[in-house]
Chain A
Amino acid sequence: MKLNLRIWRQKDAAAEGAIETFELDGVSPDMSFLEMLDILNEKLVGEGTDPVAFDHDCREGVCGSCGAVVNGQVHGPDTETTLCQLHMRRFRDGDTVQIEPWRSRAFPVIRDLVVDRTAFDRIQQAGGYVSVDTGSAPDANILPVPKPDAERAFDYAECIGCGGCVAACPNGAAMLFTAAKVAHLATLPQGKVERDARVLAMVTQMDEEGFGACTNHYECTAACPKGVPIDAIATMNREYLRATFLSKEGV
């Protein structure tokens, strides 16, 4: 296939960026989206120009490194699919494909399609952990977890921190990411110890990073490559109200 690529190019955080156009021939429908970019980059390097910078690592949809907005859709047109798992058979010969980085004040562009997502690390560090002893393995069934809770917690834990929720949100909110962490740990007995302090600290950090506020468009959950459910956000809202009004935390 032959594609008409329109890609955001930006030298560094301070530089002005712009869309650049490339024609790419010989794209196979069996390639992944990132392999298509690899082919483009080989060609660009051959021509003595800078390759297009993009983040990637596992290329099997588990690490959360990759991601771009393709024709206005986060991680492209497939549901519950990371960019590395998107295949070129979703496109047709002669298509124009517009590729832009995540857009958020809290995710400044470092170069081309690569953005700085350390804001997520700081939210995680603010409270996304449990203080459990990691001594010897505990007895089986010492902490009973009902099956529905275990499954719900697992749905939340699937979040790979790619930032697609922020990119998809019309308000640039990081609620689905933060909520996935809060709801995951609030659902399990191990997470109860820091329950109130966690949600207060993580939400405060989220706000300080300059993300927007949720107005319930629900674009995030539809864009999420792991399908983290929207009730995570309701759970975080509930946890936040609980911690504010009913706990002795953060007086």
Chain B
Amino acid sequence: MLRWIDRFANSSIGRKALMAVTGLLLIGFLLAHVAGNLTLYADQDGSAFNAYVESISALPILPLAEAGLALLFLVHIYLAVRTTLENRKARPVAYQATGTHGQKTLASTGMFVSGVVILGFLIKHLLDFRLRKAEFDEAPHESIVEAFQHMPTVAIYVVGCTALGFHLFHAIQSAAQTLGFNHPKYTPAILWFGRIFGIVLALLFASFPLVYMVKNGGTH
């Protein structure tokens, strides 16, 4: 029983499809996240952001949503590590001459590296805010101001967002192809939409630490 699920989840195509679905759902989370963060730009004293955080914290399904999000990350990362390791084993002897046929990009060959950088940034991000939830909920906007006064924090956030931009540059059209969507009418648009979307989203996320650093002076 359920042999077909086992076969699917362990096949090369099934694993990639699960990576694509979890990746796209993570992008859905990022969209909600960036929309929430944009309240930081709504006013000067951060009351819009504070109100947003308060309304989110009060949601009864928040723990469930957080658990689901964690699961998406775990599945995506597990499959990414497994696929990357197996792909390395598939070519035990490397070519001595390096050449290309002009299709692979820095983003496509660097998916694992950009993923690991995102993961490192994510851990730092959780340590900064989520694992200090009591303090954060007390004064959300204050916490943001405080966190982005540390230059090393700002630097890590900018590096993390850059990696996210690289990851998404390749990921969106890759996910479409992985899920079987390739059509002469739409594929070129998906390619360019995905690239621009990835860059814009990364720039938006990177703007928060940078704007706050400039506004409040990065002192230490």
Query: For B187, what are the chain A residues with a Cβ–Cβ distance below 8 Å?
Result: 231
- Flag the segment in B66-74, B84-92, B128-136 that touches A: B84-92
| Distance in Å: Cβ of A39 to nearest Cβ of chain B | 22
Q: Which of B144-196 contact A (CB under 8 A)?
A: 170, 173-174, 177-184, 187
Query: For A236, what are the chain B residues with a Cβ–Cβ distance below 8 Å?
Result: 13
Interchain CB contact (< 8 A) of B180 among A19, A71, A100, A235: A235
B11 interface contact, C-beta 8 A: yes
Q: Evaluate contact between B104 and A170: CB separation under 8 angstroms.
A: yes
Q: Evaluate contact between B99 and A237: CB separation under 8 angstroms.
A: no
B44 interface contact, C-beta 8 A: no
| Distance in Å: Cβ of B118 to nearest Cβ of chain A | 16
Query: For B99, what are the chain A residues with a Cβ–Cβ distance below 8 Å?
Result: 69, 71-73
| Chain A: CB-nearest residue to B102 | A222
Q: Evaluate contact between B12 and A206: CB separation under 8 angstroms.
A: yes
| Distance in Å: Cβ of A66 to nearest Cβ of chain B | 18
Query: For B17, what are the chain A residues with a Cβ–Cβ distance below 8 Å?
Result: 237, 241
- Flag the segment in A30-38, A45-53, A103-111 that touches B: A103-111
Q: Evaluate contact between B91 and A103: CB separation under 8 angstroms.
A: yes
Task: State A216–B103 Cα separation when bound (angstroms).
Answer: 10
Q: Evaluate contact between B90 and A241: CB separation under 8 angstroms.
A: no
Interface centre among B87, B93, B97, B101 (most CB of A within 10 A): B101
Query: For A82, what are the chain B residues with a Cβ–Cβ distance below 8 Å?
Result: none
- Flag the segment in B2-10, B55-63, B203-211 that touches A: B2-10
Task: State A221–B101 Cα separation when bound (angstroms).
Answer: 9
B141 interface contact, C-beta 8 A: no
| Chain B: CB-nearest residue to A236 | B13
Chain B interface size band reads 35 or more
Q: Evaluate contact between A234 and B94: CB separation under 8 angstroms.
A: no
Query: For B109, what are the chain A residues with a Cβ–Cβ distance below 8 Å?
Result: 170, 217
A24 interface contact, C-beta 8 A: no
B50 interface contact, C-beta 8 A: no
Q: Given contacts A230-B182, A237-B13, is CB(A74)–CB(B101) below 8 Å? A: yes
A219 interface contact, C-beta 8 A: yes
Q: Evaluate contact between B94 and A72: CB separation under 8 angstroms.
A: no
Interchain CB contact (< 8 A) of A216 among B7, B14, B178: B178
Interface of A is mostly: mixed
| Distance in Å: Cβ of A251 to nearest Cβ of chain B | 6
B76 interface contact, C-beta 8 A: no
Query: For A221, what are the chain B residues with a Cβ–Cβ distance below 8 Å?
Result: 103
Q: Evaluate contact between B12 and A214: CB separation under 8 angstroms.
A: yes
| Chain B: CB-nearest residue to A244 | B8
Interchain CB contact (< 8 A) of A100 among B13, B96, B174: B96
B100 interface contact, C-beta 8 A: yes
A162 interface contact, C-beta 8 A: no
A223 interface contact, C-beta 8 A: yes
Q: Which of B1-48 contact A (CB under 8 A)?
A: 3-4, 7-8, 11-17
Q: Evaluate contact between B90 and A211: CB separation under 8 angstroms.
A: yes
Task: State A170–B104 Cα separation when bound (angstroms).
Answer: 9
Task: State A159–B86 Cα separation when bound (angstroms).
Answer: 26
The 9 closest A-B pairs by CB, nearest first: A72-B99, A238-B180, A234-B182, A212-B90, A172-B90, A222-B101, A213-B12, A72-B97, A171-B87
**New contact pairs (16) apart from A217-B104, A251-B4, CB-CB < 8 Å:** A171-B87, A203-B11, A203-B12, A207-B12, A210-B90, A213-B12, A213-B87, A216-B173, A216-B178, A219-B104, A222-B103, A234-B181, A237-B178, A237-B179, A240-B11, A244-B8
Could you give 15 example pairs across A and B, Cβ below 8 Å? A72-B100, A100-B96, A103-B95, A105-B90, A203-B13, A216-B177, A219-B100, A221-B103, A222-B103, A230-B177, A234-B177, A234-B181, A237-B16, A237-B179, A241-B17
